C-alpha cells in the first residue's frame, strides 16, 4: 500500500456558501504542489470524498496565478443558510474537511511543502 | 502619484463595533467602508420596516457613527460609504444626521436607493419571471410569500452621490464591491467601460469586503498570527492604473496566503467574477510581496458587465427550531442518536424536515469524517422545520424531559426551550438592468 499524507501538508484553503452550493478553494504552497494537485485532485475525486453529503455535481475551476483550484459543490448545503438544519449551514468548515483528505505521498513532496512560515507582521 | 486609501471596518452585521473606530484612527483613510448586509439580512429588515416605517436599517451603524464622531472631528476629509441603509436608507440617513448634529458635525449625506423591487413586484412579474437561479422554478409559485426582493446595485449611484458632494453615502442593497468601486471611479474619473480598471476595483473590494478575513481571520496557518486580540482590518492604496497595495495599520497586516484564501472565498468561476459593473478575471492578477505586512496586486483584467442585476429574494417558508443536549459516558454517539429519535417520535406527528446531529462526532461534514474513537461526550443537536408553528413549539418542549427519561449521561439542558422562529428562504434571480432605476438623493 502506498504511503499517505494529508492534503494540508501541501495546500491550504477556505470555503463558503453561495445559496445551497458551497465553494472550496484549495491553494498549493508551491508550483510543484499545484502541478500535482491539478493532476490528482480532480472534480471526481472531490465529489467521491464528499459523497455522503450528496452534492449533485462538482465543478473545478483553475486559478494558476495564485496556485489555486476552486471547487463548486452544488446542492451540498442541505438548504443553505436559510433552510439548512445542519450546524454548519454555510459550509464554512468544508475546506478543513477536504484538507484532511489522505493523498498518496507524491514522489517529489519535498518541493511541495510550505516555505519557512511567514509570521504576519513580523 | 495620486493614491486613495479605502479601508473596510465591517464585514457583516454583527462584526466588531470597535474595528471601524480603530481602523479610522490608525489607518489615515480617505474612505471608510462598512458592509452590513448578508444574503438574508434584508428579509429581517423588511419585517422591521413593516412594523415601523422608520425602521429597517442596520442599527449598529448609528452606534459606530456615534463612536466615530471624535475621529470625524479630527479628520474632516474622511468619507464613509456603507450599505447600512438596508430596506430604509432614508430613515438611516435621517438618524445619522441626528447623531452627527449631537456631536456638532455637519456632513452632506448621500442616499442611494432603487434596489427595493418589492413595491413593484406585481407590475414587474408579467415581463420578469425571476426564475430561481438554482432550481429553475418561477417566482409566481411563491409570490404571496415574498417578504423582500432587492437588486444588487452597482457603483454608479455611489460615484454619483460623491460627485454631488456627499461625505457619507448610505445605500440599500448594492454589490459589496460597489462600496470600493464607487469611490475609486469618483476619485480617478475612470470610464464605465474601462473594464480592466473596474476589474481592479472589484478585486480590491472583494479582498476587503469581509474585513479581518483578509488579515489573518480564518487563515489556515492560524498559528502564525502573533496576537489574536489585535486582528487587523484591511485597507487598499489604489492608484490610477488600477494597481494597489493592501495592508492594515492595526493588527498584523496581510500576506500572500491570507489574501489568496480571501480572493477565492465565495467565488464560482474565478475567470468570470460577476459584479454589476464588470466581469472581473481573478486569474489575471499578480500578487507581489512588498514587505511583511503588505502585498501589491496588479494586472487585473475584466470584461463588459452582463445586462442583468442579481436579485436576492426572501420568502416565508414555515418555522424552525433547534435544541441541544450534552450526552456523556460510554457510547455517547449511540445514546445521542437514540435521544434524538425519541424526541422526534415524542412530538406525536411527523415533522416536514428534521435533523439529528452529534457535535463532536463529525457533524460538520456528516458521513465524510467518522470519529475514530469513542468521544467522552458529544452535543446532541436536534432541528426541525415545519409549516406549522405549533408543531415546532411542541418539539421545543421535548428536549428537557430527556434529562430524566433518557439513557444515563444526559446533561447540559441549561438554555431553556428553544424558540420557534420563522424561516425566510432564499431565492436568487436576475433582472434586466433597464427595469431597475437607482436613485440618488442628498440630505444636508
- The tens digit of pLDDT for each residue in B188-200 reads 999 999 999 999 9
What's the average model confidence in pLDDT over A79-87?
92
- The tens digit of pLDDT for each residue in B375-406 reads 999 999 999 999 999 999 999 999 999 999 99
Q: What is the pLDDT of residue A119?
A: 60
Q: In angstroms, rounded to a whole number, what is the distance separating the alpha carbons of residues B50 and B54?
A: 9
Cβ(B325)–Cβ(B413) under 8 Å? yes
Q: In angstroms, rounded to a whole number, what is the distance separating the alpha carbons of residues A8 and A86?
A: 25
CB contact under 8 A, B134 and A85: no
What's the average model confidence in pLDDT over B81-97?
98
Under DSSP, the state recorded for B220 is: T
What's the average model confidence in pLDDT over B263-292?
97
Q: How many structural domains compose chain A? A: 1
Q: Which CATH class is domain B314-425?
A: alpha beta
Q: What is the pLDDT of residue B444?
A: 80
Which of the residues A82, A97, A118, A119 would you substitute to probe the B interface, choosing the one with the greatest number of B C-beta atoms within 10 Å?
A82
Residue of chain A minimizing CA distance to B354? A85
Contacts of B230 (CB under 8 A, 6+ apart): B250, B251, B252
Give Cα separations from B186 to A20, B32, B180 (angstroms).
Answer: 36, 15, 10
pLDDT above 80: residue B293: yes
Q: In angstroms, rounded to a whole number, what is the distance separating the alpha carbons of residues B255 and A118?
A: 8
CB contact under 8 A, B260 and A80: no
- In B250-331, which ranges are E strands? 273-274, 279-281, 286-291, 294-298, 301-303, 308-328
Domain that holds residue A24: 4-111
Cβ(B134)–Cβ(A21) under 8 Å? yes
Q: What is the DSSP string of B403-440?
A: HHHS-TTEE---S-SPPPEEEEEEEEEEEEGGG---EE
Query: What is the distance, to the nearest Å, from the Cα of residue B72 to the centroid of all Cα atoms in its chain?
Result: 26
Interface confidence, given as ipTM, is: 0.95
Cβ(A112)–Cβ(A106) under 8 Å? yes
What's the average model confidence in pLDDT over B313-340?
96
Q: In angstroms, rounded to a whole number, what is the distance separating the alpha carbons of residues B363 and B136?
A: 30
- The tens digit of pLDDT for each residue in B130-155 reads 999 989 999 999 999 999 999 999 99
CA distance B73 to chain A (A): 30
Contacts of B206 (CB under 8 A, 6+ apart): B176, B177, B262, B263, B273, B280
pLDDT above 80: residue A1: no
Closest CB to A81 among B133, B224, B426? B426
Cβ(B357)–Cβ(B294) under 8 Å? no
Residue A118 counted as domain residue: no
pLDDT above 70: residue A118: no
B38 pLDDT band (50/70/90 cuts)?
confident
Cβ(B43)–Cβ(B316) under 8 Å? no
Q: What is the pLDDT of residue B405?
A: 95
| Domain range list for chain B | 3-115+152-306, 314-425
Cell numbers at B375, concatenated: 468521544
Contacts A88 to B, Cβ<8 Å = 363-365
Percent with pLDDT over 90 in chain B: 92
Percent with pLDDT over 70 in chain B: 100
Residue of chain B minimizing CA distance to A63? B283
pLDDT above 70: residue B23: yes
- The tens digit of pLDDT for each residue in B193-250 reads 999 999 999 999 999 999 999 999 999 999 999 899 989 999 999 999 999 999 998 7
CB contact under 8 A, A27 and B367: no
Question: What's the whole-number average pLDDT of chain B?
Answer: 96
Residue A121 counted as domain residue: no
Which of the residues A45, A66, A98 would you substitute to probe the B interface, choosing the one with the greatest number of B C-beta atoms within 10 Å?
A66
First to last CA, chain B: 32
Residue A97 sits at the chain B interface (C-beta within 8 Å): yes
Question: What's the whole-number average pLDDT of chain A?
Answer: 94
Q: What is the pLDDT of residue A120?
A: 65
Residue B41 sits at the chain A interface (C-beta within 8 Å): no
Q: What is the pLDDT of residue A17?
A: 94
Q: Look at residues B384, B347, B341 and name the one whose alpha carbon lies nearest to residue A86.
A: B384
Contacts B284 to A, Cβ<8 Å = 65
pLDDT above 60: residue A117: no
Amino acid at each position: 500500500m502506498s504511503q499517505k499524507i494529508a492534503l494540508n501538508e501541501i495546500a491550504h484553503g477556505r470555503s463558503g456558501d453561495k445559496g445551497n452550493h458551497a465553494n472550496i478553494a484549495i491553494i498549493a504552497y508551491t508550483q510543484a504542489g499545484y502541478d500535482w494537485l491539478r493532476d490528482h485532485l480532480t472534480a471526481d475525486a472531490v465529489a467521491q470524498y464528499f459523497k455522503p453529503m450528496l452534492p449533485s455535481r462538482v465543478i473545478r475551476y483553475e486559478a494558476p496565478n495564485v496556485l489555486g483550484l476552486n471547487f463548486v459543490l452544488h446542492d451540498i448545503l442541505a438548504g443553505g443558510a436559510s433552510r439548512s438544519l445542519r450546524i454548519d449551514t454555510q459550509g464554512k468548515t468544508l475546506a478543513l474537511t477536504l484538507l484532511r483528505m489522505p493523498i498518496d505521498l507524491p514522489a517529489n513532496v519535498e518541493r511541495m511543502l510550505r516555505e519557512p512560515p511567514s509570521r504576519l507582521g513580523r | 502619484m495620486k493614491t486613495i486609501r479605502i479601508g473596510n471596518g465591517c464585514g457583516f452585521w454583527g462584526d466588531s463595533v470597535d474595528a471601524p473606530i480603530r481602523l479610522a484612527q490608525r489607518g489615515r483613510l480617505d474612505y471608510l467602508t462598512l458592509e452590513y448586509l448578508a444574503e438574508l439580512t434584508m428579509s429581517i429588515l423588511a419585517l422591521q420596516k413593516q412594523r415601523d416605517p422608520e425602521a429597517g436599517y442596520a442599527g449598529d451603524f448609528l452606534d459606530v457613527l456615534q463612536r466615530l464622531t471624535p475621529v470625524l472631528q479630527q479628520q474632516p476629509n474622511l468619507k464613509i460609504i456603507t450599505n447600512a441603509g438596508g430596506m430604509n436608507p432614508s430613515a438611516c440617513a435621517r438618524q445619522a444626521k441626528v447623531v452627527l448634529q449631537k456631536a456638532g458635525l455637519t456632513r452632506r449625506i448621500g442616499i442611494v436607493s432603487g434596489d427595493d423591487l418589492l413595491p413593484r413586484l406585481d407590475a414587474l412579474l408579467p415581463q420578469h419571471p425571476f426564475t430561481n437561479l438554482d432550481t429553475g422554478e418561477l417566482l409566481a409559485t411563491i409570490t404571496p410569500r415574498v417578504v423582500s426582493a432587492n437588486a444588487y446595485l452597482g457603483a454608479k449611484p455611489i460615484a454619483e452621490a460623491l460627485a454631488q458632494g456627499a461625505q457619507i453615502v448610505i445605500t440599500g442593497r448594492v454589490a459589496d464591491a460597489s462600496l470600493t468601486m464607487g469611490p475609486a471611479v469618483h476619485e480617478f474619473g475612470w470610464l464605465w467601460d474601462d473594464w480592466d480598471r473596474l476589474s481592479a476595483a472589484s478585486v480590491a473590494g472583494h479582498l476587503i469586503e469581509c474585513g479581518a478575513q483578509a488579515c489573518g481571520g480564518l487563515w489556515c496557518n492560524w498559528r502564525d498570527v502573533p496576537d489574536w486580540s489585535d486582528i487587523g482590518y484591511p485597507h487598499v492604496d489604489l492608484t490610477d492604473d488600477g494597481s494597489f497595495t493592501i495592508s492594515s495599520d492595526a493588527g498584523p497586516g496581510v500576506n500572500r496566503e491570507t489574501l489568496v484564501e480571501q480572493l477565492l472565498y465565495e467565488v464560482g468561476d474565478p475567470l468570470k467574477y460577476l459584479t454589476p459593473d464588470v466581469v472581473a478575471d481573478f486569474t489575471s492578477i499578480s500578487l507581489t510581496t512588498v514587505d511583511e505586512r503588505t502585498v501589491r496586486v496588479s494586472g487585473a483584467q475584466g470584461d463588459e458587465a452582463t445586462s442583468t442585476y442579481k436579485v436576492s429574494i426572501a420568502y416565508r417558508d414555515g418555522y424552525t427550531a433547534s435544541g441541544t443536549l450534552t450526552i456523556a459516558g460510554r457510547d455517547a454517539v449511540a445514546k445521542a442518536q437514540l435521544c434524538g429519535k425519541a424526541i422526534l417520535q415524542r412530538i406525536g406527528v411527523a415533522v416536514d424536515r428534521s435533523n439529528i446531529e452529534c457535535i463532536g462526532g463529525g457533524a460538520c461534514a456528516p458521513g465524510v469524517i467518522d470519529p475514530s474513537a469513542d468521544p467522552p461526550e458529544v452535543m446532541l443537536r436536534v432541528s426541525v422545520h415545519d409549516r406549522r408553528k405549533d408543531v415546532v413549539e411542541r418539539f421545543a418542549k421535548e428536549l428537557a424531559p430527556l434529562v430524566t427519561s433518557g439513557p444515563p449521561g444526559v446533561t447540559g439542558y441549561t438554555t431553556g426551550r428553544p424558540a420557534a422562529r420563522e424561516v425566510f428562504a432564499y431565492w436568487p434571480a436576475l433582472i434586466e438592468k433597464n427595469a431597475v432605476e437607482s436613485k440618488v438623493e442628498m440630505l444636508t
